[in-house]
Amino acid sequence: MLRFALSRLLLVVPTFVGITLIAFLFIRILPGDPVLLMAGERGVSPERHAELMAQFGFDKPMWRQYVDYIGQLLQGNFGHSFSTKRPVLEEFMARFPATLELALCAIVLATVLGVAAGILAAVKRGSWIDQATMGTALVGYSMPIFWWALLLIILFSTSLGWTPVSGRIALTHYFPSVTGFMLVDSLLSGRPGAFASAVHHLVLPTIVLATIPLAVIARQTRSAMLEVLGEVYMMTARSKGLSPSRVIGLHALRNALIPVVTTIGLQVSVLMGGAILTETIFSWPGIGKWMIDSISRRDYQVVQGGLLLIAAMVMLVNLTVDLLYGLVNPRVRHV
Partner 1 sequence: MKLMKALLTATAMTFAVAGAAQAKTLVYCSEGSPEGFDPAPWTAGTSFDASSRTIYNRLIEFAPGSTETVPGLAESWETSDDGMEITFHLRQGVKFHTTPYFTPTRDFNADDVIFSFMRQLDKSSPWYEYAPGIAWEYFDSTGMATAIKEIVRVDDHTVKFVLTRADATILATFPMDFASIVSKEYADQLDAAGTRERFNTHPVGTGAFTFVDYQQDAVIRYQAFADYWDGKQPIDDLIFAITVDPGVRQQKLVAGECDIIPYPNPADIEGMKANPDLTVMQQEGFNIGYLAYNTRQAPFDKPEVRRALNKAINKQAIIDAVFQGTGQAAVAPLPPTSWGYNDQLVDDPYDPAAARAELEAAGVSGLKMKVWAMPVQRPYNPNARRMAELIQADFAAIGVEVEIVSMEWGEYLAQSSALDRDGAVLLGWTGDNADPDNFLAVLLGCDGVGSNNRAQWCHQPYEDLIQKAKTTFDQEERKKLYDEAQVIFKQEAPWATIAHSIVTMPMRNSVQNFKQDPLGIHRFVGVDKSE
Partner 2 sequence: MTVQTPDPTLDPVPGAGPAAQPVPPLLENWHYFTRSRGAVVGLGVFMALVAIAVLAPWIAPHDPAMQYRDALLVPPAWTAGGREAFLFGTDAVGRDILSRMMHGARFSLLIGLVVVTIALASGIIVGLVAGYVGGRTDALIMRLMDIILAFPSLLLALVLVAILGPGLFNAMLAIALVLQPHFARLTRGAVLAEKSREYVTAASVAGAGHLRLMFFTILPNCLGPLIVQATLSFSSAILDAAALGFLGMGAQPPTPEWGTMLAEAREFISSAWWVVTMPGLAILATVLSINLIGDGLRDTLDPKLKRS
Question: What residue ranges bind partner 2 (CB under 8 A)?
Answer: 11, 14-15, 18-19, 22, 26, 29-32, 135, 138-139, 141-144, 146-148, 150-151, 153-154, 158, 215-216, 219-220, 223-224, 259, 262-263, 266-267, 269-270, 272-274, 276-277, 280, 291-292, 295-296, 303, 307, 310-311, 314-315, 318, 321-322, 325-326, 332, 335
- Please identify, among the stretches 137-145, 158-166, 308-316, 324-332, the one whose residues bind partner 1 according to the rule CB under 8 A: 158-166
Tallying the residues shown for the chain, one arrives at 335
Q: Is residue 304 a contact partner of residue 291, using CB atoms and an 8 Å limit?
A: no
Q: What are the phi and psi torsion angles at 108 (to 5°)?
A: -65, -45
Residue of the chain from 168, 219, 222, 251 that contacts partner 1 (CB under 8 A): 168
Among partner 2, partner 1, none, residue 322 binds (CB under 5-8 Å by kind): partner 2
Among partner 1, partner 2, none, residue 234 binds (CB under 5-8 Å by kind): none
Interface with partner 1 includes 161 (CB under 8 A)?
yes
Closest to partner 2 by CB, 88 or 272 = 272
Closest to partner 2 by CB, 30 or 170 = 30
Q: Is residue 101 a contact partner of residue 182, using CB atoms and an 8 Å limit?
A: yes
Interface with partner 1 includes 14 (CB under 8 A)?
no
Q: Is residue 56 a contact partner of residue 28, using CB atoms and an 8 Å limit?
A: no
Tell me the C-alpha distance between 237 and 227, whole Å.
Answer: 15
Interface with partner 1 includes 174 (CB under 8 A)?
yes
Residue type for position 80: H
Residue of the chain from 125, 156, 285, 323 that contacts partner 1 (CB under 8 A): 285
Interface with partner 1 includes 241 (CB under 8 A)?
no
Q: Which residues pair with 322 in a beta bridge?
A: none
Interface with partner 1 includes 104 (CB under 8 A)?
no
Closest to partner 2 by CB, 35 or 307 = 307
Residue type for position 243: S
DSSP label of 154 = I
Among partner 1, partner 2, none, residue 146 binds (CB under 5-8 Å by kind): partner 2
The helices-and-strands tally (H runs, E runs) of the chain is: 14, 0
Q: Which residues pair with 87 in a beta bridge?
A: 80
- Smallest CA-to-CA distance from 270 within 62, 103, 77, 66 is with 103
Interface with partner 1 includes 166 (CB under 8 A)?
yes
Question: Is residue 118 helix, strand or coil?
Answer: helix
What is the per-residue binding string for partner 1 in 28-67, x denoting contact by CB under 8 A?
---xxxx-xxxxxxxxx---x---x--xx-----------
- Please identify, among the stretches 112-120, 166-174, 220-228, 262-270, the one whose residues bind partner 1 according to the rule CB under 8 A: 166-174
Please list, residue by residue across 162-191, b when 16 or more beta carbons sit within 10 angstroms of its beta carbon and e when fewer do. ebbebebbeeebeeeeeeebbbbbbebbee
How many Å is the Cα radius of gyration of the chain? 24
Give one DSSP letter per residue of 220-239, joined into a string: HHHHHHHHHHTSHHHHHHHH
Where is 142: in which H helix or E strand? none
Closest to partner 2 by CB, 69 or 195 = 69
What is the per-residue binding string for partner 1 in 182-221, x denoting contact by CB under 8 A?
-------x--------------------------------
In the Cβ-directed half-sphere of 301, how many Cα atoms lie within 13 Å? 26
Interface with partner 1 by CB under 8 A: which residues?
31-34, 36-44, 48, 52, 55-56, 80, 82-86, 91, 94-95, 153, 157-158, 161, 164-168, 170-172, 174-178, 189, 281, 283, 285, 289-290, 298
